[in-house]
Amino acid sequence: MSRPRRARVTDRSRRRDRHGRGLRSSAAGPHLPFLRTRVDLFDDIVAATADYLREAWPDELADTSFEVAGLPAEPDRTRVERWSVDRAAGRVVLYRLPIERLAPSHDRRGAAEDEWNHRVLVEGYVFRAVADLLGKDPWELAPDRWRDG
């Protein structure tokens, strides 16, 4: 049973089919829910944030596609790319490994706080990538989202 994806994942299916044996079966078994991996969590956060931004900017992001890749296909040797934007094609690609692995480490206070910090980190990069696409400041994209009152 597969779950629907709202953000397209690039170049991941080839690695799952090793040695011509087909896709791996679920580690949890047929009667238990699927395990949530870091990759799935990252994809879900990107998809949810993309949906939020599409609702906030429907005209500007109507034809924009959001994709997730592990690393850039052709890395830039002068800087670490965490996303790429193709304005002509209306495409935003977020690179999971640079975002997660090069993030500043936080104190280990608890699993709930770690998950919250991870979500904020990934959402921040989605906001930055969309701001880059639209030529705006990330704080302009959703000013009401960060208000307390």
pLDDT digits (tens, 9 = 90+) for 61-98: 999 999 999 999 888 888 889 999 999 999 999 999 99
pLDDT at residue 6 tops 90:
no
For strands 91-95 and 65-69, give the pairing: parallel
pLDDT digits (tens, 9 = 90+) for 97-149: 999 988 876 555 566 678 888 899 999 999 999 999 999 988 888 877 655 54
Q: What stretch of H or E contains 66? A: strand 65-69
| Residue 1 CB coordination number (10 Å) | 6
> Hey, where are the domains in the chain?
8-146
Instruction: Show Cβ contacts of residue 90 under 8 Å, excluding neighbours closer than 6 positions.
Output: 63, 64, 65, 133
**Residue type, position 132, single letter:** D
8-146 has which CATH code? 3.30.2010
Task: Determine the 3-state secondary structure of 85 from DSSP.
Answer: strand
pLDDT at residue 14 tops 60:
no
Give the highest mean pLDDT range of 6-15, 22-31, 75-84: 75-84
- Residue predicted with more confidence, 11 or 74: 74
Instruction: Show Cβ contacts of residue 1 under 8 Å, excluding neighbours closer than 6 positions.
Output: 34
